[in-house]
Amino acid sequence: MRTRTLVIVIASFMAGAIAVLAASKVARSDKALFEGKQPKEAALEMLAVAESQAEKGTWERIGVARVYYLMGEKAKAGEILDRVMKEKLKADDWIRLGSLYAEAGEWARAEEAFEKALAMDPKDPDFPAEAGAWYNLKGDRARAEELFAKSFSLKADEVWNTLNVAGSYVGIKPQ
């Protein structure tokens, strides 16, 4: 019985050690990535690290792709987004994608992503407020206000939704 217990303890220790080693392979940010470099070079160095840090997180990978996309590195962003899109996305992932495309000025793609999110989770009060804010910024006030009314009918006391709606009337992008 003692031999069996010892084997279990050793196996557990080895599994823990392997997990620690695997976790330590995630890249770490450091000033050497940006210090003394041109802005784009620094951004690319940091994005390579961020991509490693994002691991399998959907929002995180969309965030990395967003920076690549908005800085003009659409091919690299597309590679990341293609991998993300092969997975089963949730409504909040579609909102993030919609925001990325809206921010990039690609409204058709943004609208498609927003509508997918709204259809997937029609009872979430945050999605209509955020998508509506983008519609308002785009100039579709009727659709925006339809979505704002839906958001507030689901939950009228959410400060971030109220702020996103208010900001959209004066040109401020949702957070």
How much is the pLDDT for 14? 56
- Alpha-carbon distance values, 104 to 82, 98, 145 (Å): 17, 10, 23
Each residue of 25-50: pLDDT tens digit? 667 887 888 889 899 998 898 899 99
Among 141, 125, 69, 55, smallest CA distance to 99 is for: 69
Place of tokens 């009727």: 142
Contacts of 91 (CB under 8 A, 6+ apart): 116, 117, 118, 120, 121, 124, 127
| Domain spans, the chain | 28-87, 88-175
The superfamily in CATH containing domain 88-175 is Tetratricopeptide repeat domain (1.25.40.10)
Question: How many other C-beta atoms lie within 10 A of the C-beta of residue 59?
Answer: 14
Instruction: Report the pLDDT value the prediction gives residue 9, as an integer from 0 to 100.
Output: 52
pLDDT of residue 144: 97
Chain segment 128-162, per-residue pLDDT in tens: 999 999 999 999 999 999 999 999 999 999 999 99
Q: What pTM was computed for the model? A: 0.79
**pLDDT tens digits along 47-71:** 999 999 998 899 999 999 999 999 9
Residue identified by tokens 């259809």 is 119
